[in-house]
Amino acid sequence: MHTCPRCESKEATVVAKSPVEGAWEVYMCPVCIFTWRSIEPETITNPEKYNRAFKVNPDDIPSAENVPALPARYIK
Amino acid sequence: MAYKDFRDFLSTLEKEGQLLTISDEVKPEPDIAAATKAMSKMGAETPAMLFDNIYGYTDAKVAMNVMGSWPNHALMMGLPKNTPLKDQFFEFARRYDQFPMEVKREETAPFHEVEITEDINLFEILPLFRLNQGDGGFYLDKGCVISRDVEDPENFGKQNVGIYRMQVKGKDRIGIQPVPQHDIAIHLRQAEERGENLPVVIALGNEPAITTAAATPLLYDQSEYEMAGAIQGEPYRIVKAKDSDLDIPWGAEVVLEGELLAGEREFEGPFGEFTGHYSGGRSMPVIKINRVYHRKNPIFEHLYIGMPWTETDYMVGINTSVPLYQQLKEAFPNEIVAVNAMYTHGLVAIVSTKRRYGGFAKAVGMRAMTTPHGLGYCKMVIVVDEDVDPFNLPQVMWALSTKLHPKHDTVIIPDLSVLALDPGSSPAGITHKMILDATTPLAPETRGHYSQPLDSPLDVDKWEQRLRELLK
């Protein structure tokens, strides 16, 4: 498990490895669905250096607006 | 003039000096997006780029900026690459009038070469990368997404081919943004009301006529395939999907077949958009991919999008202007001369028109706002006289600076609809709109001093021709 630089969940997993062995890995966070590559700059990969304007609070995700809106039959 | 497939178009670009192959090693991030954005900054005649040595990949090829200039747009239509923009507009309008061109059906396609139905991992199949630093992930933003009307599935015209932004959100999961104004949102609503998934196909790496048609704001029941045929002057070639009744561009490099999951929304975004702003994060539908086919050693096509101008602006410039032009001509057939709706996908539109009487131009501006595209765009409509070329911004600025009287010629209409991605809309999707009437006042209007317009010295046209010959 890896820490998501955007929402800081600890649940990110590896979704791909470079075809050339050892070059990089791609991780994905199942909470905020952020995806990043291990060799991207620290402003993308490091939770402390990730741009604060783009941080995501996991608590806000369930209330994100639905686009398009769900038809009535799916609204719980 | 039809291009057989994506590779055929790339080879034409190469022959015409409009393709730059970059074989030095580049990193997926930030190099590919950075180089493409840098290319966009270098003017309106830039080449496409092919990256064929990407760090960590063995044989990935990524094509960028494929239609990112006016020469490449001219070549898309089979015209000489130096065809002036205004000539491209009128030629596109002529071909638009040839719609519909019947399609040509094929049984097999080159993308059938490799087929994957088990253990699909899009992160391994596609050379994905981040475009802008705030993007929430790796996006597909130049794929043709195909879906059918659920209530009228036999209606070929109601089958939609559209370009939508898509975030790869899992090994076989893709998030898509079908805003309510989009045709695919109509199909999704129909399917969700029935409680059914909506079959979709995503075709990546297409020859440019279908990409252009897919990016054109056609009417709901107009077929993009029949428009692509009209644009290229030959029937468009399509082949059936295997899991649904959908039709696929024959020349695609990679095809993803799947279904939009009914009732499902998942966090998506942000994504750097054509407005020069990020979209914000919202909950959007999800496509589950069940089948992938691709050519051997596929060329992955992608598009850098961000602060204008980028490839998007060339791709949706003329093909946005022409439907507005045609629809305005339906209302005012003897007056409308040309339409330039190339700025931020038509959030600003410039209409050149003759006038029948005072106040006429303002009606033209209001009509532009009530066309199907204008309902979501056309926040500002500038109306100019028939002798002003709307594609020549110095001329448009001259008209604004000399013909517009702020008291009489600025019309603001409150709280109209606009696409929610307009960062100035408030609430998102609602904005005031403005008409700037920069036409010459005409009776019964009496204001201003316009009876002595400046003419040119005699024989300017003759001299222009002579000088062109001398400069050859």
Question: Per-residue pLDDT tens for B44-63?
Answer: 999 999 999 999 999 999 99
Residues of chain A neighbouring B136 (CB-CB closer than 8 A): 6, 32-35
Query: What phi, psi does A21 have (nearest 5°)?
Result: -55, 130
Residues of chain A neighbouring B278 (CB-CB closer than 8 A): 54
Ranges in chain B, pLDDT < 70: none
Say what the pLDDT of residue B239 is.
98
- The span from the CA of B151 to the CA of B141, in Å, is 28
Tell me the pairing of strands B104-106 and B61-64. unpaired
Say what the pLDDT of residue B145 is.
98
CB–CB of A54 and B30 under 8 A? no
CB–CB of B420 and A41 under 8 A? no
Say what the pLDDT of residue A35 is.
98
Token pair of A11 as six digits: 């649940």
Query: What phi, psi does B131 have (nearest 5°)?
Result: -95, -60
Token pair of B307 as six digits: 């602060």
User: Looking at the predicted structure, is the pLDDT value of residue A1 above 90?
Assistant: no
Residues A13-35: pLDDT tens digits?
Answer: 999 999 999 999 999 999 999 99
Nearest CA to B311 among B37, B10, B3, B27? B37
CB-based contact, A71 to chain B, within 8 Å: yes
Nearest residue in B to A76, CA atom: B263
Q: B3 CB contacts (<8 Å, ≥6 apart)? A: B9, B12, B207, B208, B209, B232, B251
User: Looking at the predicted structure, is the pLDDT value of residue A72 above 90?
Assistant: no
- The span from the CA of B65 to the CA of B20, in Å, is 10
User: Looking at the predicted structure, is the pLDDT value of residue A73 above 90?
Assistant: no
Which residues are registered as beta bridge partners of B51?
B22, B62
pTM: 0.95
Say what the pLDDT of residue B181 is.
80
Question: How close does chain A come to B184, measured CA to CA in Å?
Answer: 11
Cα Rg for chain B, rounded, in angstroms? 23
Token pair of B287 as six digits: 């496509």
- The span from the CA of B437 to the CA of B394, in Å, is 16
ipTM value of the model?
A: 0.97
Token pair of B251 as six digits: 């020349």
Residues of chain A neighbouring B57 (CB-CB closer than 8 A): 18-20
User: Looking at the predicted structure, is the pLDDT value of residue A76 above 80?
Assistant: no
Nearest CA to B89 among B102, B79, B104? B79
Active site residues of B: 273
CB–CB of A24 and B56 under 8 A? yes
Strand order in the sheet with A35-37: A13-17, A25-28, A35-37
The residue among A35, A45, A66 with the most chain B CBs within 10 A of its CB, best to mutate, is: A35
CB–CB of B57 and A28 under 8 A? no
Indicate the burial class of B403 (C-beta count within 10 angstroms; 0-12, 13-18, 19 or more). Answer: buried
Question: What SS3 class is residue B201?
Answer: strand
Residues of chain A neighbouring B285 (CB-CB closer than 8 A): 68
Let me know: does B467 contact B459? Beta carbons within 8 Å.
Answer: no
Q: B25 CB contacts (<8 Å, ≥6 apart)? A: B53, B54, B55
Nearest CA to B224 among B321, B297, B305, B156? B156
CB–CB of A39 and B27 under 8 A? yes
Say what the pLDDT of residue B332 is.
98
Nearest CA to B47 among B69, B23, B73? B69
Indicate the burial class of A8 (C-beta count within 10 angstroms; 0-12, 13-18, 19 or more). Answer: middle
Nearest CA to B253 among B221, B292, B309? B292
Residues of chain A neighbouring B263 (CB-CB closer than 8 A): 70-71, 73-74
Say what the pLDDT of residue B180 is.
83
- The span from the CA of B78 to the CA of B100, in Å, is 19
- Exposure string of B370-379, with b = 16+ CB inside 10 Å and e = fewer, is ebebbebbbb
Contacts with B, A 47-66, CB within 8 Å:
51, 53-54, 56, 61, 64-66
Token pair of B374 as six digits: 């204008």
Indicate the burial class of A9 (C-beta count within 10 angstroms; 0-12, 13-18, 19 or more). Answer: middle
Residues of chain A neighbouring B179 (CB-CB closer than 8 A): 67-68
Contacts with B, A 7-46, CB within 8 Å:
15-16, 18-20, 23-24, 26, 28, 32-37, 39-41, 43-44
CB–CB of B189 and A33 under 8 A? no
Instruction: Specify the DSSP class assigned to residue B54.
Output: B
For chain B, the maximum distance between any two Cα atoms, rounded to a whole number of angstroms, is 76
Say what the pLDDT of residue A59 is.
97
CB–CB of B284 and A67 under 8 A? yes
Say what the pLDDT of residue B91 is.
98
Instruction: Specify the DSSP class assigned to residue B345.
Output: G
Nearest CA to B160 among B200, B100, B207, B196? B200
Instruction: Specify the DSSP class assigned to residue B273.
Output: -
Question: How close does chain A come to B40, measured CA to CA in Å?
Answer: 23
Say what the pLDDT of residue B229 is.
98
Let me know: does B65 contact B48? Beta carbons within 8 Å.
Answer: yes
A to B CB pairs, distance under 8 Å: 115
Residues B298-344: pLDDT tens digits?
Answer: 999 999 999 999 999 999 999 999 999 999 999 999 999 999 999 99
- The span from the CA of B291 to the CA of B285, in Å, is 19
